[in-house]
Amino acid sequence: MHLLELKKITRIIGNCVANNNISMHIVRGEVHAILGENGAGKSTLMKIIYGEHRSDPGGEIFLNGVKTDIASPAHAIELGIGMVYQHFRLIRPFTVLQNIILGIEPKNIFGLIDYKKARADIKKIIDTYGFDVDLDQKIEDATVGTQQRVEIIKTLYRNAEIIILDEPTAVLTPQEILDFYRIIKNLKGQGKTIIIVTHKLHEIKTIADRCTILRKGEYISTLDVSVTSEEELARVMVGRNVNLKVSKTPPTLDGEIVFEIKNVTVFGNKNTPVVKDFSLSLKRGEITGLAGIDGNGQSELVQAITGLRKIKTGSVLINKMNITNLTPKEIYQNKLGSIPEDRQRVGLVMDFKIKENFVLQTIDDKPFSNYGFILNRELTNFSNQLIERFDIRPTDSELEASKLSGGNQQKVILAREIFHNPDVLIAFQPTRGLDVGAIEYIHSELIKLRDQGKAVLLISYELDEIINLSDNIAVIHDGKLWAELDQEKIKKSTSLKEDLGLFMAGGRPV
C-alpha cells in the first residue's frame, strides 16, 4: 500500500488537456521529483493533490490505501498535505510568526491569541529541522529565501506529512539553494514525504530518490534517480537529445561601445543609495554577464536603466543618446529591450491576451495601428509567428497570459523582447523557470543577438549561466562595480568560478 496513489487523473481546461489519465504513486519518506517541459501539466497535477483543483470524472486519489476526495486546500491540510506555491502567499506587513499561525492561532483561556504557546511550538519545529528565521521579522523585510522557509514552516506547523514544493529553487540564490537542500534532507530524515517540481536536473540528482516525468499532460515514466544520468532525464522529458552545454564561437572583437552606464547612483525603497556610482560599458557583439548575490543593487540598477526607478545622479547612454530618466516607453523606442525580473508585475499584463502582451509598447505603431485603428489581422499574424518560433504552448494567441504555465509566460516576454530587435538587451534571469529544452533555445537566441552585433547585459544568480554565456563578466557588490573580467582575464583564469564567488561576497583574490 502506498502513501499516495493517483489513478487516471485527468483535467481538461477549455480545450487544453492539462492532465491526461495520469496514474502514479508516492512512497512514504521519499523525495519525489516531478519533471516535464513548460506546460506539461506539473503544477496542475500538484494543485489536484492539494485540493485546489479536482480531477475530471474517472480520476481517483488514494491516501494510505483509502479512496479520498480532496475537496479543498483546507481539506488537504487536514489530511496532512501541505503545499508551497511558486508565488508565495504571505501577508507582507505581518511578522514571520503571525504568518505561520495565520488562521489557526492558538488561544488562551481569555480567547486571546496565545503568542507564548505559538512561539514555543514554532521553536520546536525550527530546532528539529534547523531553519534559520527571525520570528519577529516582517515579511516585507524578509529575503525570498526566508519567505520560502516561512512557507515550509507553515506546512509543518499544520502537521503536514506530505509537502509539495512547486519549483522551490527557481527563486533562490545559489547560497540559499544549498540551505534549502539541507532542510530537505532534514525533513526526509524526520520521515516527511516531499514532492518537488523542478527543471534543474542536477537538483534532481542531488536530492531526489525517484523522478516522474510528464510530457504534454501525460505520464511518461518514473525513474530511479540514482541510476539515471542527467542526459537521460533530459532525453526522456523532451523526447530527443538535448544539448546541455552552450556552444558559441568567440565574439568579433573591437565592437564599439553602444551602451554606457556612467556613475549611476540609485536609491532603494528605504531612500538610501543601493546603487553607488556604478559605471559599465557594453560593446556591440558581446554578452556581458553581471554576477552578484541577490540584493546587491542589481534589481534597482535594472529598474533605473529601464525607466522604472529614478536615477539620482549619473547618466545612461544608448548609441550616444542620453536616455537618463526617460519614460519606459521612450527608452524602449530608443532600442533598449528588457526581460524584467518580475514577470507578473512588470513583464506582462496578466489579464491581457497573449497577442496584446506582444505589443504592449508598440500597439500604437505601424503595422498594428493605422490612424488609431488596431489592425487585428496584422496583430494575429505577428503573434502566430512569435508563438511558433518560441514554441509557446498552447498556440492560441487569444488566451490570457494568466492561463499560461509559468515557463510559457516567460517565453512570451522573451519572444517580444528578442523580436523587437533591440540594440541593447537587458536580460534579468532570462531562463528562470524554463525547461532544459527551452533554456537551450533561449541561450542560442541570445548568442544569435550577440552575433548580429547587439549588446546583451545578462544578470543572473546562476554562475554557470554567466560563465557559459558571457564574453565579459562584471561583478556587482554592495551596489558598486566590484570587479571586471574581460575575455583575456576570463580565458587565463584557472579558478574562475571560485574567483567570482569571492568577488560576489565582497572579497578579493590574494
Per partner kind, with CB cut-offs from 5 to 8 A, the member of Mg ion, ligand ATP, none near residue 326 is: none
If binding is defined by CB under 5 A, does position 43 make contact with Mg ion? yes
Per partner kind, with CB cut-offs from 5 to 8 A, the member of ligand ATP, Mg ion, none near residue 44 is: ligand ATP
> What is the b/e burial string over 392-420, where b = at least 16 CB atoms within 10 angstroms of the residue's CB?
bbbebbebebebbbbbbbbbbbbbbbbbb
Instruction: Give the span between the Cα atoms of 293 and 481, in whole angstroms.
Output: 13
If binding is defined by CB under 5 A, does position 406 make contact with Mg ion? yes
| Shortest separation between residue 39's beta carbon and Mg ion, angstroms | 8
Instruction: Give the span between the Cα atoms of 171 and 149, in whole angstroms.
Output: 12
Per partner kind, with CB cut-offs from 5 to 8 A, the member of ligand ATP, Mg ion, none near residue 355 is: none
Other C-beta atoms lying within 10 Å of the C-beta of residue 116: 10
Per partner kind, with CB cut-offs from 5 to 8 A, the member of Mg ion, ligand ATP, none near residue 393 is: ligand ATP
C-beta closer to ligand ATP: residue 439 or 455: 439
Per partner kind, with CB cut-offs from 5 to 8 A, the member of Mg ion, ligand ATP, none near residue 297 is: none
C-beta closer to Mg ion: residue 39 or 479: 39
C-beta closer to ligand ATP: residue 12 or 253: 12
Cα of first residue to Cα of last residue in the chain, in angstroms, is: 58
Which ranges constitute the DSSP H helices of 209-312? Answer: 230-238, 298-305
Instruction: Give the span between the Cα atoms of 258 and 472, in whole angstroms.
Output: 15
| Shortest separation between residue 170's beta carbon and Mg ion, angstroms | 10
Per partner kind, with CB cut-offs from 5 to 8 A, the member of ligand ATP, Mg ion, none near residue 155 is: none
| Shortest separation between residue 45's beta carbon and ligand ATP, angstroms | 7
Q: For 29-66, what is the HEC assignment?
A: CCEEEEEECCCCCHHHHHHHHCCCCCCCCCCEEEECCE
Lateral strand order in the sheet of 218-224:
81-84, 162-166, 193-197, 31-36, 210-215, 218-224
* Cell 505520464, residue located: 219
Site residues (vs ligand ATP, CB under 6 A) = 13-14, 16, 18, 36, 38-44, 393-394, 403-408
| Shortest separation between residue 85's beta carbon and ligand ATP, angstroms | 11
C-beta closer to ligand ATP: residue 9 or 266: 9
If binding is defined by CB under 5 A, does position 155 make contact with Mg ion? no
- Which uninterrupted H or E stretch holds 492? helix 487-492
Residue pair 146/131 in contact (Cβ under 8 Å)? The answer is no
Per partner kind, with CB cut-offs from 5 to 8 A, the member of ligand ATP, Mg ion, none near residue 119 is: none
| Shortest separation between residue 191's beta carbon and ligand ATP, angstroms | 28
C-beta closer to ligand ATP: residue 81 or 481: 81
| Shortest separation between residue 397's beta carbon and ligand ATP, angstroms | 13
C-beta closer to Mg ion: residue 43 or 324: 43
C-beta closer to Mg ion: residue 98 or 198: 198
| Shortest separation between residue 40's beta carbon and Mg ion, angstroms | 8
If binding is defined by CB under 5 A, does position 303 make contact with Mg ion? no
| Shortest separation between residue 198's beta carbon and ligand ATP, angstroms | 9
C-beta closer to ligand ATP: residue 407 or 479: 407
> What is the b/e burial string over 431-468, where b = at least 16 CB atoms within 10 angstroms of the residue's CB?
bbbbbbbbbbbbbebbbebbeebbbbbbbbbbbebbbe
Per partner kind, with CB cut-offs from 5 to 8 A, the member of Mg ion, ligand ATP, none near residue 404 is: ligand ATP
C-beta closer to ligand ATP: residue 40 or 304: 40
| Shortest separation between residue 403's beta carbon and ligand ATP, angstroms | 4
Q: Which residues contact 404 (CB under 8 A, 6 or more apart)?
A: 39, 354, 392, 412
C-beta closer to ligand ATP: residue 11 or 450: 11
Long-range contacts of 494-502 (CB under 8 A, 24+ apart): 496/467, 497/463, 497/467, 500/291, 500/463, 500/466, 500/467, 500/473, 500/475, 501/463
Chain residue whose CB lies nearest Mg ion: 43
| Shortest separation between residue 52's beta carbon and Mg ion, angstroms | 13
Q: Name the amino acid, one letter, at 323.
A: I
Taken in order 216, 221, 222, 224, the sign of the CA dihedral is negative
Instruction: Give the span between the Cα atoms of 460 and 466, in whole angstroms.
Output: 7
* Burial of 245: CB neighbours in 10 Å, binned 0-12, 13-18, 19+: exposed
C-beta closer to ligand ATP: residue 40 or 96: 40
C-beta closer to ligand ATP: residue 20 or 468: 20
* CA-wise closest residue to 478 among 297, 277, 273, 268: 297
* CA-wise closest residue to 128 among 200, 69, 185: 185
- Site for Mg ion (CB under 5 A): how many residues? 3
Per partner kind, with CB cut-offs from 5 to 8 A, the member of ligand ATP, Mg ion, none near residue 154 is: none
Instruction: Give the span between the Cα atoms of 165 and 195, in whole angstroms.
Output: 6
Other C-beta atoms lying within 10 Å of the C-beta of residue 12: 12
| Shortest separation between residue 123's beta carbon and ligand ATP, angstroms | 35
| Shortest separation between residue 395's beta carbon and ligand ATP, angstroms | 10
Residues of this chain that bind Mg ion (CB under 5 A): 43, 405-406
